[in-house]
Amino acid sequence: MRKLLILMALAGCSTVQGNPQPQAARLSADVLTLVLTDGTVCRANWAAAGGAGRLEPCGPGYGYAVRVVENPNILRQLFTGLTEALGADGAVPPMAEVTITDPAGVDRVFVSPPPVDTSF
């Protein structure tokens, strides 16, 4: 009997799952890509939406707001200018802060492009 109760308790724990959470957010020139902890990938045309909107079909639904860094550092400006001069307009994603708001109103802030890991 004791083994049966333990198995039932473990089975109950394994079926309880929380809502997926935002794990990463990245921008291209016009598309926001959000990755959730369950592997779901959601996209929205943030540029056409004016920098803010909702990712309705994404999990339980998330709001987003993109704040583009208008004057990035000089190296970034030079690199972006060089790629544009070479005819690769839009190849360099904008530097921005992306705020994802879950249905409970909790904000998670991401930077795009993500920072480079120099800990190795």
The helix (H) or strand (E) run that includes residue 69 is none
Provide the total of helices (H) and of strands (E) in the chain, helices listed first: 2, 7
From CA 82, how far away is CA 60, in angstroms rounded? 41
Q: Per residue of the chain (120 residues), what is the pLDDT tens digit?
A: 554 444 444 444 443 457 789 999 999 888 999 999 999 999 999 999 999 999 978 878 899 999 988 766 666 666 666 666 676 665 556 778 999 999 899 999 998 776 555 566
From CA 55, how far away is CA 39, in angstroms rounded? 15
In sequence order, which ranges of 16-115 are alpha helices (DSSP H)?
A: 74-85
